[in-house]
Amino acid sequence: MFDRFRLDHVDLGEVTLRVRHGGVGAPVVLLHGHPRTHTTWYEVAPRLAENHFVVTPDLRGYGGSTLPPDAPDHAQSSKRAMARDVVLLMSHLGHQRFAVVGHDRGALVAFRTAMDHPNLVSHLVVMDGLPVIEHLERTDATFARAWWHWWFLGQTDKPAERVICADADAWYHTPGPAEMGVGNHADLWQALRDPAVVHGMCEDYRAGLGIDRDHDEADRAAKRQVVCPTLLLESSDDDLDIHGDPAAIWMPWLAHPLRHRVINSGHHQAEQAPDSVAKALLDFLAPSKPAR
């Protein structure tokens, strides 16, 4: 995996991130979702690296990245904290302005990076994601049944970690190595059997039900919007439209029109449709041609 990419562990002070990076050109960060690690991008990242400097970290608490001690309101796992990691990581690698792409939980981090650091983010891509407040304000029986893991992972009275760590194989059902890629499959399952990673993933969801919502509410009240070009990649065989048209839900959060593309894929787009994802990203990130 990741031929001609470098694997590092970068100490950012509060956390150490495991990260792969490689390529030449305008920088772009790829952020994975739950329960994946950065290796989910193993087929997409090399395609992008032909035209871009590509950075693929494990989010804090996931994979080989660390997590600080638990803080009040689960703030150590907030998307604001994860977005700050992205900024510090890119600065460490010598880049002050970059594009950010996020899938699933990584989409929340990418969105928060663009909101909190508008001068640093050139392009935003969200894959199968909405602002967390949009999900929570629309919660009904249909959403609760379909997305029940949000409530299970996010509650604290009877921590989910004990259930998951007792039998990770029964809890997580993934495609096999042939479908996921041998290295990606092995990397994911090494993470899923690590109790520290399981705790980090649960803390991510706990932050999502509380402090992340608070941050979204504050942005909306202040009428803040994402000011960079934004692309939504929606899987054809997933249920991001559970609340209605996801593009319409995104529009109030954006200062510019949304670009929207449907990828013929299940939820894990980067693994199931890497060619389509890479093409969509390259098209979106291509420099604009000057008008004649």
Give the integer Cα–Cα distance in Å for 188 and 1.
13
Q: What is the DSSP letter of 245?
A: -
Give catalytic status of residue 267 as yes or no.
Answer: yes
8 Å CB contact between 46 and 28: no
* Residues belonging to the chain: 292
H-assigned helices in the chain: 44-48, 79-92, 105-116, 132-137, 141-146, 149-154, 160-166, 168-171, 177-180, 182-192, 195-208, 211-221, 246-250, 269-272, 274-285
Instruction: Look at the block and give the residue holding tokens 């792969």.
Output: 20
Q: What are phi and psi of 78, to 5 degrees?
A: -70, 155
Give catalytic status of residue 104 as yes or no.
Answer: yes
Give the dihedral sign, CA 191/196/202/208.
negative
Give the dihedral sign, CA 36/165/155/116.
negative
Cα Rg of the chain, angstroms = 18
CA angle 193, 196, 197 (to 5 degrees): 65
Q: Which of 85, 104, 204, 216 is catalytic?
A: 104
SS3 62: coil
Give the integer Cα–Cα distance in Å for 102 and 275.
17
Catalytic residues: 104, 267
